[in-house]
Structure 1
Amino acid sequence: MSQSTQLPKTSQLNEFSTLELAQALMERLSISPDDWHRLKSNRNSRANEQIAAAVVYLLKNQPQEALARLEQAVGWLDRSISAPPCPSHGEHKK
């Protein structure tokens, strides 16, 4: 791909703030309810989701919230945490 093809994308991205770009990335990496069962135990997907959220919190000057998300991401990557059971299981038997 030539640089001239990439320039419009770069100039379009310059129209957004860093926070807006981080929020867009967070939305893109968030696991949707439709994909939850398929990806709830996917360690890379879960870490991606948490790291993107951490960047958003850092940009909002909320380091404690960012740290909590980073710790979650590390837990996914080092396998020290696992997905909890789906909260909707068992509710149909009321």
Structure 2
Amino acid sequence: MSKSTQLPKASQLNEFSSLELAQALMEKLSISPNDWHRLKSNRNVRASEQVAAAVVFLLKDQPQEALLRLQQATGWLDRSISAPPCPSHGEQKK
């Protein structure tokens, strides 16, 4: 592994709480507005962002919110849900 791709040592990660690490992962996996159109239907990306959000809610002791996110992730993976239309496109006809 090159230096740029090495994972931080466990001692470095211990400086952060589990919640902080989960929030960082959620932020990293969230689709940015600039990438929305390109990734909105990518099932793995969408499921990953929902699972990361579920972990955050679990760590915040909000199991019902976590369950909703896990159900969304399952829906992306089993193809029972699809991407909604772009919010900005639906607003233009008002």
Name the CA distance, whole Å, in 2 between partners of 1:16 and 1:90.
41
Q: Are 2:6 and 1:13 equivalent residues in the alignment?
A: no
1:79 maps to 79
- Aligned ranges 1:23-38 → 2 under 5 Å: 23-38=23-38
Name the CA distance, whole Å, in 2 between partners of 1:20 and 1:78.
30
Name the CA distance, whole Å, in 1 between partners of 2:8 and 2:93.
55
Q: CA RMSD in A?
A: 1.7
2:62 maps to 62
What stretches of structure 1 move > 3 A for 4+ residues in a row?
90-94
Q: How many residues align structurally?
A: 90
Name the CA distance, whole Å, in 2 between partners of 1:85 and 1:58.
29
Gap regions ≥5 residues in structure 2:
none
Identity value in percent: 86
Name the CA distance, whole Å, in 1 between partners of 2:49 and 2:13.
21
Q: 1:10 to 1:42 in 2, by over 3 A?
A: same
Gap regions ≥5 residues in structure 1:
none
Bigger radius of gyration among the two? 1
